Amino acid sequence: MLNAPLPLGATIGMLGDGQLGRMLSLAASRLGFKTAVFGPEDGAPAAQVSASAIVASYDDEDALRRFAASCDVITLEFENIPAATLEFLTGLGKVVAPGAHALRITQDRVLEKTFAREQGVATVDFRAVDTLDDLKAALAALGTPSLLKTRRDGYDGKGQVWIRDASEAEAAFNAVGGKPSILEAKASFTREISVVAARGWNGEMRAFPIGENHHVNGILSTTLAPAPVSDDVTKAAHDIARRVLQGLDYIGVLAVELFVLDGDVLVLNEIAPRVHNSGHWTQEGCVCDQFEQHIRAVTGWPLGDPSARCTVEMTNLLGDDILDWPRLAAEPQAQLHVYGKAEPRPGRKMGHINRIKS
């Protein structure tokens, strides 16, 4: 762990080179830090705005040693970094936040939901699925419709398929590549919300106001925050985030995605061990946004004020949406954020826009 806050001019290592790393690097620069990025893509979004970058695979130990030598602390911008990479860097004596333990749990949907229940956090009913026979047994137990997801690596609707009748079991198992999976019971929810929260080295925790999320084809489309939810829902969501942060011994920002059932009952959907798409609204909406908060947490600085300054609707810009940038940039009471990706492919996150509502 860090024994003292990092001084101005220190270097933060960033595992991952995408748009989240880009926005983390910009926040770090604003606070007087440098960032060194490590990732597999040449000219990636984070590398474009960082002091240095190493392009290599996450299992390249020689490259990781070079990277580690330049860093005062190391963090990550997305959860699909191999936990073994974090363990290797820790073995070199580097401070890594969040740590490999938290990553191992949140990378695996079965371990994640099991962990949540151990912390007293409700989840949808689920079964682990390793074989087609497992899937058939799980369908018999949970019924249909139910959702089959790969245990690892899926995001934005990838690696998952709805099963609406038990006869679809084999086709569904083939659709996820026969990989180790999880079958989840359908949640009859009234809305989807998320809470983004941070924990520092001294155990201090701060949570942002709740965001209400709307997805299209499995990809987040919009987030409205602060969401019009009751004080009881806010309190319960923040309590869930606290349990998750403490249970994982987590350092940095994470997001907890929740279903709201009838009666304002909250059920955990997923944990994202990183800054999160549903927290982008904080850039214009909060005194301290999620990216600065993460930098503050991992460097041992005091956590910032997460209170809302205004209501914001964040809209993702996917694929060719970004080509409408002249009109978007001219919108009053709106801020356009562009990720620096060269090719707008269907479903690819190219940027987002934060529209101030009040």
Is the model's pTM score more than 0.75?
yes
- pLDDT digits over 34-50, tens only? 999 999 999 999 999 99
Q: How far apart are CA 74 and CA 211, in angstroms?
A: 28
Helices (H), 143-198: 169-175
**SS3 per residue for 64-105:** HHHHHHCCCEEEECCCCCCHHHHHHHHHCCCCECCCHHHHHH
Q: Which residue has the tokens 């969501």?
A: 237
Q: Work out the average pLDDT over 188-207.
A: 96
Q: What is the DSSP letter of 55?
A: E
Cβ-count burial 287-322 (b if 16+ within 10 Å, e if not): ebbbbbbbbbbbbbbebbebeeeebbbbbbbbeebb
Reduce the DSSP state of residue 271 to 3 states and report it.
strand
Which residue segments constitute the domains of the chain, with CATH numbers given? 11-96 (3.40.50.20), 125-185 (3.30.1490.20), 189-356 (3.30.470.20)
Q: Following DSSP, what letter does each residue of 24-39 receive, concatenated?
A: HHHHHHHTT-EEEEEE
- pLDDT digits over 61-120, tens only? 999 999 999 999 999 999 999 999 999 999 999 999 999 999 999 999 999 999 999 999
Of the candidates 301, 349, 297, 354, the residue with the CA atom closest to the CA atom of residue 322: 349
Q: How far apart are CA 191 and CA 188, in angstroms?
A: 9
Q: How far apart are CA 17 and CA 40, in angstroms?
A: 8
